[in-house]
Every structure is written in C-alpha cells, then in structure tokens.
C-alpha cells in the first residue's frame, strides 16, 4: 500500500470513529461510510485485475502441463468430465457397490463405467487395488494426451508421484472380513501390495517401465494437489525431466462410509434427492458426499515441451503449503492456515491477488469448512474477494478425498483452456457468512488468464496450486 493510501486509511479510521462517538443517526453513518469507501476505492481500485507478469524464470525452470488423464464420476476421460462440469450436472447417486440402507448417508460419486481391462491385462488388474487401476488408466490417457514418445525417451528420467488420502479401503475391508470369517491364513497374498499408499505410483511406474524419481504422498484431502506441486519441485531441482503427478482414490466401501458417518462428516439430508446433496456455500449444506476417481498430469520443463512441439495446456506458476496446527479434522475457523498457503502460492508465482481470475475452491459442503475457506479468501484478497469468481466442482462430483486436488487441478486447467468457469450447483439458499461470487448453478464464460486451486486436508494440511494460461 502506498504512503498516500496509508495516510488516507488512518484519516478514514479517525472519521469513522468520530461518527460513532458523536452518536450520529444510523442512516447518516451508513451514508457517510459509503461516501468514504467510494473515495478510497476510487483512489486505489482493488477490483480491477492487474497485468500478468510471470516470465521471470528461464524456460528450463518453468513447469508446464502437457497432458491430462481423468477418471471421474462423470466417466472415463477428460471429455465427459468437462462436459458434465460445464453442464452443471450432478454425478452423485445412490451407492450401488453395496447396500447402504443401514447408513445415514447412502450417496456417493461412483465411477460406474470404468473397465480396467481396457487399459491393462485382466490378470494384472486383479492384483491391483481399484485406486491403482484408476491411476494406471489416468496415466495412460495423460501420456497419450501429451504425445510423450516413451519409446524414444530415457525412462530413467521420468518419475511418478500419485497421491492418495488413505490406504486402499476396499482391500482393507476385504482382508478384515476374511480374517474374521475364515482366519488370517486365508487373507489374499496380494493384500499388502494392493493396500500400500505408494502402490498407485509404483504400479504406474511398473506398467510403463518408468525408472525415474518415484514416490507417494498421503496427506488426506490435500494429497492430490500436493503431489502436483512437489512433482514440479522435483523437476526444478533436476531429479527428473518429466513427472506423472496426480491422485487416485477409491474409498466407497461400507467401512469408510460407516467411519465417516460416525464422524458426522457426511451429508444425510438428501438421500431421496442425491443430485441435491452436495451444496457448497449453501445455508442448507450438512456435510460432504464421498466420491472416487483419479487424475494424472504430465509435467515437464517449458524448454522440453517446446523442443518436442508438445501441446501446452497451462503453466504451473505457484505452489504453497501450510499447516493449520489446529485440529485433526476441523479447519482453523478463521482460515489462517489456508490463507498462508494461498499467499505462498501467489508469492512463488510473483502474483498480486488482483491478478487471479478464478479460484477453484476446496469447499466440500461442510458447515465449518466452507466458512473457513471464505474467510481465508477474504484475508488474502481483501475487497477483491468480492469480485473474483469462485466455484466448487464438489457440488457435482462429491469429494474424491486424496484424488480431489488432482481432479480439481485438471478442472482448473480446463477452465483456463476453454475460458469457462464451472458452476457451484445447488447454491439456492446463500449462507450469509459465505457472501462471495461462487458462480451459482450455471457455468460462466470468462477470459481467465490465472487461476488457483485450493485443497485442504484432515490434520490441517493445506496445498494451493496456481496455474497460468500460456499465451
């Protein structure tokens, strides 16, 4: 803020205090405040986006996205995913993987048309967890999208970082059932290899023969975004030339549903109307709806992508991580940790808040979480928070937990690419404490140049990604 603005702020504060102390009638105070705010905002407008200047790094330090692979409750592939989002259509329905009748929440965002044998040998698929199957399939689609010539590349320089929020819950549930019903020696020998959190990464590496830097991240609902951000840092420091990064999760089991229900984390009000259950920022929201899926991004240096003439979908220009240090499940109610992660992402990108054209919100449809995120955005963006479009695609696909950050990063990149903002559906009764522009119910055309994607996880882990549309 300029010295002139600081002086004017001090004078404004004094004038407002004087109005209160003089017991001026309410109507007069309101009129005076409006006049003073108009004067200040006219002097230093904060609602106009600023020119984007992000080419401060050399091409070999700039990280771009050249491929996307998505499996979502809308179906297999980027096309059905994006078509469903911009149509404002809900993919949430009654759970069919098992009978959910005994549970307060009976809904999920299932992937009903995924057939792993279309991407891998059937015998190989049977030895993988469902999350690993989805990770391999999404990686295949991302590699094809990026036109990455694996047969001509040094596979020692291609790494993998696929995140998950937990272990493989279907395999844990099956193993426990076998233990109770038939004894421990009847547990599948493939249980441990299927259930380990690093297996989606490892299975992708094995399937494609990638011998580069391979690891995993398991930080609850922040994991998918954190995987993408860390993968970019791996490339920048020279440990890989290309990274396949993202998240995969298949948590729709009786075990996980029951566990989330007893935590009172899930929506229970709309079992009879599944498509209206997930309603971020709405006053009637009552919890999240679980979902499953995967997204994998191909990340590489700008110089490398330019040399091989690869399609460049977006540039990853910022990444910020923080911890709430507050509670194992509840967010910091003031959004302090989330705001810190947003600031760090903007700082790495060398962006002012007013340069952000769109925010893909974490917003899970929980009473506390959506308010905390709104407060975090206001902390960082100030008055501009009321002008920047914000939306939550969880209103349509539910919460994909460990895969959410990756799937939502893909949605953010597609929004930049297409110049269209997916809506927040089911926003029918605005919460007075959630009073920003959440792009309610209908997609919006917009000239988006810069966007951020927020991901916040249990344990207070916050991860934020900033993307730029390439000129």
Active site residues: 221, 362, 399
Find, among 277, 309, 262, the residue nearest to 148 by Cα.
309
Encoded tokens for 13: 């504060």
Q: Is 343 helix (H, G, I), strand (E, B) or coil?
A: helix
Residue 57's contacts (CB-CB under 8 Å, 6 or more residues apart) are none
Helices and strands (DSSP H and E) totals, the chain: 15, 15
Length of the chain: 471
Report the alpha-carbon distance of residue 153 to residue 156 in Å, rounded: 9
Report the alpha-carbon distance of residue 73 to residue 109 in Å, rounded: 5
Report the alpha-carbon distance of residue 291 to residue 288 in Å, rounded: 9
Encoded tokens for 271: 């079992």
DSSP annotation of 290: B
H/E element, 21: helix 3-21
User: Per DSSP, which regions of 409-460 are E strands?
Assistant: 420-421, 444-445, 450-457
Report the alpha-carbon distance of residue 169 to residue 171 in Å, rounded: 5
Is residue 232 within 8 Å of residue 239, measured between CB atoms?
Answer: no
Q: Per-residue b/e over 129-147, b at no fewer than 16 CB within 10 Å?
A: bbbbbbbbbbbbbbbebbe
């Amino acid at each position: 803020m300029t010295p002139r603005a600081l002086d004017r702020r001090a004078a404004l504060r004094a004038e407002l205090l004087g109005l209160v102390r003089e017991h001026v009638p309410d109507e007069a105070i309101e009129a005076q405040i409006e006049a003073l705010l108009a004067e200040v905002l006219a002097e230093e407008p904060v609602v106009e986006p600023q020119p984007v200047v992000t080419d401060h790094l050399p091409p070999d330090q700039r990280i771009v996205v050249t491929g996307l692979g998505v499996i979502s409750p809308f179906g297999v592939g980027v096309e059905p995913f994006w078509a469903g989002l911009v149509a404002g259509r809900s993919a949430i329905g009654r759970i069919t993987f098992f009978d959910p009748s005994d549970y307060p929440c009976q809904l999920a965002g299932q992937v009903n048309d995924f057939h792993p044998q279309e991407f891998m040998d059937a015998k190989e698929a049977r030895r993988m967890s469902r999350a690993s199957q989805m990770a391999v399939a999404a990686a295949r689609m991302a590699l094809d999208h990026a036109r990455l010539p694996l047969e001509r590349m040094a596979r020692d320089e291609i790494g993998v970082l696929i995140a998950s929020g937990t272990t493989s819950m279907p395999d844990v549930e099956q193993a426990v059932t076998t233990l109770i019903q038939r004894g421990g020696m009847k547990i599948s020998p493939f249980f441990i290899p299927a259930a380990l959190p690093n297996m989606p990464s490892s299975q992708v590496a094995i399937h494609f023969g990638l011998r580069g830097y391979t690891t995993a991240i398991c930080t609850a609902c922040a994991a998918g975004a954190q995987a993408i951000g860390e993968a970019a840092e791996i490339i920048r420091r020279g440990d890989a030339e290309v990274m396949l990064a993202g998240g995969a999760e298949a948590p729709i089991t009786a075990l996980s549903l029951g566990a989330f229900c007893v935590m009172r984390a899930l929506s229970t009000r709309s079992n009879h109307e599944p498509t209206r259950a997930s309603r971020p920022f709405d006053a009637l929201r009552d919890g999240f709806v679980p979902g499953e899926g995967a997204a994998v991004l191909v990340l590489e240096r700008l110089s490398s992508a330019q040399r091989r003439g690869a399609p460049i979908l977006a540039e990853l220009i910022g990444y910020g991580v923080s911890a709430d240090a507050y509670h194992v499940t509840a967010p910091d109610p003031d959004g302090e940790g989330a705001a810190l992660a947003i600031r760090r992402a903007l700082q790495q990108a060398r962006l002012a808040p007013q340069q952000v054209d769109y925010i893909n919100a974490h917003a899970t449809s929980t009473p506390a979480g959506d308010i905390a995120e709104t407060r975090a955005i206001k902390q960082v963006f100030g008055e501009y928070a009321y002008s920047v479009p914000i939306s939550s695609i969880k209103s349509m696909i539910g919460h994909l937990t460990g895969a959410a950050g990756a799937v939502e990063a893909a949605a953010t990149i597609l929004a930049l690419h297409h110049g269209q903002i997916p809506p927040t559906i089911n926003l029918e009764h605005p919460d007075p404490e959630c009073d920003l522009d959440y792009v309610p119910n209908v997609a919006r055309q917009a000239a988006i140049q810069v966007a951020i994607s927020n991901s916040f996880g249990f344990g207070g882990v916050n991860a934020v990604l900033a993307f730029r549309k390439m000129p």
